[in-house]
Amino acid sequence: MGDHDPQGMLDLVLRLPVFCRQAWTLGREVVVAARPSAIVVIGMGGSGIGGDLLRALFLDDVPVPVAVVKDYRLPAFVDRAALVFACSYSGNTEETLAAYDDASQRGATCVAVTSGGALRDRAAQRGQQTVLLPPGIPPRAALPYVFLPMVSALSHGGVVPPMDDAAHEAAEVVAAVLNAERPDAPSSRARALAGAFHGRIPVIYSATPFLEPAAQRWKDQLNENAKTFAVWNTFPELNHNETVGWGLDAALATHLAVVVLHDPHESDRLRRRVDITKDLAFGSAGSVDEVTAAGSGKLARLLSIIAIGDLVSVDLARRREVDPTPVPVIEELKKRLSESRR
């Protein structure tokens, strides 16, 4: 990355397999009830996406609701029988702290997932369980740490079947994908996609709701790493509204670069929808590409396609000659909010 990546964001992306293996071990000692009334994940931004991934991963396998809270408040159904994961890598995210306090007051089983800060302090004061994460990583680069300990805890606690093999496969598949797709690889799709995005607005679509959080992750990484605007949506929902929006002026459409994220296990019906939509709507787009997740298990498929998006975002930052690590707008927003409370 040269001078445009002085803090080594690309290196952090390439370390995802190591992070996955380490993160899996962190959830083994968490004690959870085998049948909570609901599983709730509190988190914002790079710390909150783990909740979205958890919900997608277990939608068909967990017989209780899995909810993600990205707000100061909890839904009314959270009670003493609920299992609540409060995820804040920094430990100081004000929305997460407020919702975590609410969960504690309701008597829910709470697990703090953090590298420190006020969240760690409050968990210690209340005698609540904490998954302590390694410090010093930008939250968005710490995705395995704010996701996999929850999966591990649920697996080892008997809420879901054992997933050690799935976690091992995910780390191996992510390592293979990163090796093949890194920007200096001879036939890197990530490099090609970054080229397609350069000078355009990326439009990220998941071909199936299972990959919806992966599409959001691509968008979020493009926002934070490449400092560019991007949008995302998912099939089949987008066929009921956004597809009509592609009737925009053809000259405008050329400024949009579409990528459709596919799951190898998606239904034929959904794949047919994508094909028809490409024919009906995307003809004037600046580019249209498709990427398919790798791996057998759900965990590998989610993380493998996320790894490609992470690489794309960092390579686009290089092309745009911006440092992918700092996020000054977010820091300024937090500063002003803090000052407003004084």
Q: Which residues are annotated as catalytic? A: 224, 240, 334
Within 8 A by CB and 6+ apart from 60, the residues are none
Angle between helices 45-58 and 212-226 (to 10 degrees): 160
Residue 73 CA: distances (Å) to CA of 94, 99, 220: 11, 5, 23
- Cα gap 245→302, rounded to integer Å: 28
Task: Please give the helix or strand (H or E) that residue 291 lies within, else none.
Answer: strand 287-292
By the 10 Å C-beta count (0-12 exposed, 13-18 middle, 19+ buried), 331 is classed as exposed
By the 10 Å C-beta count (0-12 exposed, 13-18 middle, 19+ buried), 7 is classed as middle
In which residue are the tokens 């991934």 written? 53
Under a CB-based contact definition with an 8 Å cutoff, are residues 228 and 197 in contact?
A: yes
> Is residue 6 reached through a cis peptide bond, with omega within 30 degrees of 0 on the bond before it?
no
Residue 137 CA: distances (Å) to CA of 90, 115, 144, 276: 9, 9, 12, 42
Among 61, 11, 69, which residue's Cα sits nearest to residue 210? 61
Structure tokens at 224: 């934070």
